[in-house]
Amino acid sequence: MDQPFDLLIVGGGINGVGIARDAAGRGLKVLLVEQDDLASHTSSASTKLIHGGLRYLEHYEFRLVRESLIERERLMRIAPHIIRPLEFVLPHHRGSRPAWMVRLGLFLYDHLGGRDALPGSASVALRGTARGAGLKPEIAKGFTYSDCRVDDARLVVLNAIDARERGADIRTRTRFVEAARDGDVWIATLADSETGARSVARAQHIVNVAGPWVDKVLGSVAGAAAERAPRLVKGSHIVVPRMFPGEHAFILQNADKRIVFAIPYEGDFTLVGTTDIAVGSADAARIDDDEIAYLCTSVNDWFATPITPADIVWSYAGVRPLYDDGSDSASAVTRDYVMKLGTGEGPQLLSIFGGKLTTYRKLAEHALEKLEPFVTMTRGPWTDCEPLPGGDMADGDFAAFMRAVRARWPFLPAALAERMGRAYGTRIADLLGEARSLADLGADLGGGLHEREVSYLVEQEYARTADDILWRRSKLGLNLSADAARRLTEYLAREKAHV
């Protein structure tokens, strides 16, 4: 019989793949199962920020904010293609938090730790300036500070690829059904999500990172101690045609004391979000009319040209699987993560609640620290400066990297080169290889998505469906016609038939 896996990780969101990567790099034999596509739930439905979380300071989450601030620049260094600085403008007017309070918050944000490359905060004039363009004329001043933006779904897939390259077995469309102890190991039943076919895996320990389904997985493990159900808080976003010029984002204060972001998105659009709504089930991740109205009203309080629901070109919703700390309001529930380990000797079950994209790498380190007494690892923490796939560019200099890309593959149109450079970083060479013309990339299925790129995504990045490619490996879905999406589906079916 094969050796059992050291770890069976349930969940292919950011926290699952982060743990898989870290553990595989420490010599552990890892199996990760994801019931759908990688990042198909909360981890592709975020505001797409690697940030300290300025507003969490109001809830005294100093540990979380400090850890997140330190992670910002670390993550930017290991993945400069998908993570980059973003300046935020915080406009100020009557009804906003007092200026002294904002200054104090920004002072803490600047000094809690980890800021090296990103600029500090400042007070700025807005009326008549480039930063204030698009705002109502009565808004005269505000503040700026910096965080980072990220392609959330690609952050997940890059961690999964790296985990695989370090020996992990990553199985998508594979559902964890149940597990029971058998002596020194867990016997887990898995099911193919497409065919329903069952299989069995043996593992020393189970890591339950099923996000909003964490308690459901916990309930499927025989003998597991019951934990409090996670607090499920839905957050929705809308995407509208670009509302303001420039590359900065806005952080807007609402009358209800919440904040809403307006972020330049995929060139031609603005991303607006998010809401905070307590929900009873993880399956409730759909935006509703009240949220749409709320987001439109929030930005219309600040921008000169109002938006309406008719302007929305895309929307998405996700459910935060937060640890229930007993807070009254959904916005106040802690965003920090909590780990629960089964006590005693023998096979362990580690369940993880909460967390942010920003803290996934530290969360993985903490998870392995918890498991260290029960499993032998070949080395200690290592992920803080080891680049993610495609992120190994000299000095993290993306502009210099792009100059080299344009020189080596001069036939690529500028927008396509930029999109591929951002998505694949230095792995663009694996995709383009010795191609000398666009024709070498096969037919254009629409929007610059060529057959060769589709094959790469299927072979290297676990993509199987048109949605995987158009909404998670890329955001080409925003610009592609329904016809092009259909062509892609047909192409994938033909390719599958040939395998």
Ligand X SMILES: Cc1cc2nc3c(=O)[nH]c(=O)nc-3n(C[C@H](O)[C@H](O)[C@H](O)COP(=O)(O)OP(=O)(O)OC[C@H]3O[C@@H](n4cnc5c(N)ncnc54)[C@H](O)[C@@H]3O)c2cc1C
Footprint of ligand X on this chain (CB under 6 A)? 10-16, 33-36, 40-43, 45-49, 51, 175-176, 209-213, 217, 235, 274, 318, 320-321, 355-358
One DSSP character per residue, 410-471 reads TTS-HHHHHHHHHHHGGGHHHHHTT--SGGGG--B-STT-BHHHHHHHHHHS---SHHIIII
Closer to ligand X at the Cβ: 156 or 416?
156
Query: CB 153 → ligand X: shortest distance, Å?
Result: 10
Closer to ligand X at the Cβ: 198 or 436?
198
Q: Alpha carbon of 489 to those of 220, 319, 436, 459: distances in Å?
A: 35, 28, 27, 16
Query: CB 474 → ligand X: shortest distance, Å?
Result: 18
Find the radius of gyration of the CA atoms of the chain: 23
Closer to ligand X at the Cβ: 192 or 392?
192
Closer to ligand X at the Cβ: 72 or 450?
72
Closer to ligand X at the Cβ: 316 or 456?
316
Q: How many residues are given for the chain?
A: 499
Tokens of 4: 């059992």
Run of H or E residues at 23: helix 14-25
Give the residue nearest to ligand X (CB): 13
Query: CB 496 → ligand X: shortest distance, Å?
Result: 22
Does the CA dihedral 298-301-304-307 come out positive or negative?
Answer: positive
Return the biggest CA–CA distance within the chain: 73
Closer to ligand X at the Cβ: 49 or 480?
49
Q: Please tell me the distance from the alpha carbon of residue 446 to that of residue 228, in angstroms, as a whole number.
A: 47
3-state SS class at 122: strand
Residues 69 and 112: beta-carbon distance below 8 Å: yes
Q: Alpha carbon of 142 to those of 27, 132, 261, 315: distances in Å?
A: 50, 9, 15, 29
Residues 148 and 249: beta-carbon distance below 8 Å: no
Query: CB 300 → ligand X: shortest distance, Å?
Result: 21
Closer to ligand X at the Cβ: 8 or 431?
8
Residues 366 and 22: beta-carbon distance below 8 Å: no
Query: CB 30 → ligand X: shortest distance, Å?
Result: 15
Burial of 488 per CB tally in 10 Å (0-12, 13-18, 19+) = buried
Q: Please tell me the distance from the alpha carbon of residue 498 to that of residue 493, in angstroms, as a whole number.
A: 9
Closer to ligand X at the Cβ: 16 or 132?
16
Task: List for the chain the helix, strand, coil content (%; round to 5).
Answer: 35, 25, 40
Q: Alpha carbon of 184 to those of 32, 187, 196, 202: distances in Å?
A: 20, 10, 28, 10
Query: CB 53 → ligand X: shortest distance, Å?
Result: 8
Query: CB 151 → ligand X: shortest distance, Å?
Result: 12
Closer to ligand X at the Cβ: 51 or 450?
51
Query: CB 92 → ligand X: shortest distance, Å?
Result: 23
Q: How many alpha carbons fall within 13 Å on the CB side of residue 70? A: 13
Closer to ligand X at the Cβ: 113 or 380?
113
Query: CB 435 → ligand X: shortest distance, Å?
Result: 34
Run of H or E residues at 102: helix 99-111
3-state SS class at 361: helix
Closer to ligand X at the Cβ: 190 or 423?
190
Closer to ligand X at the Cβ: 51 or 55?
51
Query: CB 330 → ligand X: shortest distance, Å?
Result: 11
Query: CB 152 → ligand X: shortest distance, Å?
Result: 7
Chain center to CA of 280: 23
Query: CB 166 → ligand X: shortest distance, Å?
Result: 19
